[in-house]
Amino acid sequence: MKKRGLLNGIKVALLAAATALLLSGCDSSSMIVLDPKGPVGHTELKLIILSAILCAIVVIPVLGILVYIILRYRDKPGNKAPYQPDWDDSKTLEAIWWGIPIVIIAILGVFTVKGIHTLTKPPVQNAKPITIQVTSLDWKWLFEYPEQGIATVNHVEIPAGVPVQFELMADGPMNSFWVPQLGGQEYTMPGMAMRLWLQADQPGKYFGSGANFTGEGFAHMRFDVVAKPQADFNKWVEKVKKTSPAMTTDTYANLKKKGLSDVKYFSSYPKDNFKKVLNKNGGQYMKMKGMKKDDSQFHEMKDMEDMSDMSEMDMDHN
C-alpha cells in the first residue's frame, strides 16, 4: 500500500510539473509564429496545426501504449505468463504501425503541396502589389524600393493590406529572411534572386530577422517591418526622399564591409544596383508560376535574365 501511494504521489508531481511547463509557454506575445497577421502567415499556421494534430495521433497513443506495456507486462514475483521464445512478428501489428504513418504522410503531403502552391502568388488579387529588393550583408539588411526609388538599412515599411513581393539575394554569406508573423523563411544566396510574397492585413510593427547563422554579428541581423495605411506609407516615402542622403556606389561598398549598422535611410541609390550585384555573383533569377507575359514583373525578370546571359557571353569570349 505504501509503494502504491508513493507511486501515485510521483505521478501527481510529474503531472503538475508538466502542466506548469506547458502553461509557461502560453503567453501569445512570445509565440509570434502562432500569431499571424497576414494571409501567408495564416496559411502556414494551418499547416503547423495540421502537422501537430497528425503527430499527436501517433505520439499520444504510442506513449500511452508504452506506459501500459511497462506496467502490465513488467516482471514480478508469481508471474505465470507463458514463455514464447519463437514468437517473432505479427502481420496485423506491422500493418498498423506501417499503415498509419503512410496515411499521415500522404495527408500532410497533399495539404503541404496545396498550401505552398498558393504562396507562390500574390495573397490577394484586388490590390496592386509592390516590390522590395532585399540584400543580406555582413551583418545587416539592405532594402531597395525600385518603384519608389528609396533604400533603407535594417528597417522596412510597407502599405497594409497590399501584397509585397520581396526579391531576395545575398552579397555575402547565405542567410534566411524571416518575418514570423507575416510568413515563413526564404533563403538569400549570392547570385540567385528568390521571391517571397508577404502581406500585413493591418497596420503594426512586426519583428524580422536573419534565421541562418553567418558569424559573430548574426544575432544583430534584426529589423522592423512597419505596416502603414497607404496614405501614411506614401508620406513616409516622400519624407525619406526629402530628408535623407543619396546612397552612392561608395556608400554601398562601405555597407558591404563586415560590421553592424544602425537604421539608415537613403533618398536614392545607384541605378540597377540589385541587378548588378546579382549578376556579379551569378545572375540566376527564380521564375514564378502563373506570371503573365504582359506583367511588368515578367519583363523585369526577363531583363535580368538577358543581362545574365550577356555577362556569361562576355566571360566566354574573354
Q: What does the alpha-carbon distance between residue 266 and residue 239 come to, in Å, rounded to a whole number?
A: 10
Residue 304 has pLDDT above 60, yes or no: no
Nearest CA among 219, 142, 214 for reference residue 172: 214
- Round to whole Å and give the CA distance between 199 and 258: 31
User: Is 146 in a helix, a strand, or coil?
Assistant: coil
**Which tops the pLDDT comparison, 301 or 72?**
72
- Measured in degrees and rounded to the nearest 5, phi and psi for residue 291 equal -80, 130
Residue 305: the pLDDT is 45
Strand partners, 198: 164
Angle between helices 296-317 and 273-281 (to 10 degrees): 40
Pairing mode of beta strands 175-178, 140-145? unpaired
> Who wins on pLDDT, 286 or 307?
286
Angstrom distance (rounded) from CA 294 to CA 124? 19
Q: What does the pLDDT look like over 193-221, one tens digit per residue?
A: 999 999 999 999 999 999 988 888 889 99
**Residue 143 corresponds to which amino acid?**
F
Return the pLDDT at 71. 85
Separation CA 202–CA 303 (nearest Å):
34
Looking at residue 146, its amino acid is P
Higher per-residue confidence, 77 vs 255: 255
The model's pLDDT over 10-68, given as tens digits with 9 standing for 90+, comes to 554 455 555 544 444 444 456 888 999 999 999 999 999 999 999 998 899 989 999 99
Q: Do 273 and 142 contact (CB within 8 A), yes or no?
A: no
Quote the percentage of the chain above a pLDDT of 90.
Answer: 56
* Cis before 139 (ω within 30): yes
Least confident of 23-27, 98-102, 162-166, 308-312: 308-312
CA 227, 233, 238, 244: dihedral to nearest 10 degrees?
A: 0
What average pLDDT does the chain have? Answer: 82
Which pLDDT belongs to residue 285? 64
Instruction: Please list, in sequence order, all residues whose beta carbon lies within 8 angstroms of the beta carbon of residue 215, skipping any fewer than 6 positions away.
Output: 138, 139, 173, 258
